[in-house]
């Protein structure tokens, strides 16, 4: 009887890693305006919760030949560098107003699996993503839906 009770207790507290709000907030970034808004929202959340903001860029892995010989790895590295610069500049601009602890991580893969891996490895307490903007990026929209359905972290989708 007590064994069952213990299991129930453990399950009930699955989401509550910290007692006073998220300690690690993962935000998915891809350079789009919605992902920059997501980062701004997540940094405000991190500041209020005194949490670490982990900005994550998932570098796409293309099938061999898909790029027709284009140096895709370099392109995605450039995007990552550009994102780091943008985040640094944004952080510098708001320094003094509020200080947010942040890290930048890159993971390789498709956006969904990359974010799941990031959230797992960084022990995320919450995940923030931008809503899809362009029709061509409907995949990002489905990434948000799939993250919610995974049911492993609270997920905030920023328009």
- List of residues 6+ apart from 74 with CB closer than 8 A: none
Q: How far apart are CA 144 and CA 149, in angstroms?
A: 9
Strand partners, 102: 53
Strand partners, 28: 56
pLDDT by residue, tens only, the chain of 159 residues: 544 444 444 444 445 554 565 699 999 988 788 888 898 899 889 988 889 999 898 887 765 555 555 555 666 778 778 877 877 776 666 555 556 788 888 888 888 999 999 999 999 999 999 887 554 455 555 788 889 999 999 999 998
**CA quadruple 29, 32, 38, 43: dihedral positive or negative?**
positive
């Amino acid at each position: 009887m007590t064994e069952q009770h213990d299991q129930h207790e453990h399950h009930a507290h699955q989401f509550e890693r910290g007692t006073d709000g998220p300690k690690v907030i993962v935000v998915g970034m891809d350079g789009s305006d919605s992902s920059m808004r997501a980062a701004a929202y997540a940094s405000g959340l991190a500041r209020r919760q005194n949490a670490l903001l982990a900005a994550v860029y998932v570098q796409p892995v293309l099938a061999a030949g898909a790029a027709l010989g284009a140096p895709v790895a370099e392109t995605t590295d450039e995007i990552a560098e550009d994102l780091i610069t943008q985040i640094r500049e944004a952080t510098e601009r708001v320094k003094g107003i509020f200080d947010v602890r942040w890290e930048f991580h890159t993971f390789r893969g498709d956006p969904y699996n990359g974010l799941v891996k990031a959230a797992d490895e960084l022990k995320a307490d919450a995940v923030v993503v931008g809503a899809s903007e362009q029709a061509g990026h409907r995949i990002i929209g489905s990434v948000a839906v799939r993250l919610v359905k995974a049911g492993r972290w609270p997920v905030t989708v920023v328009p």
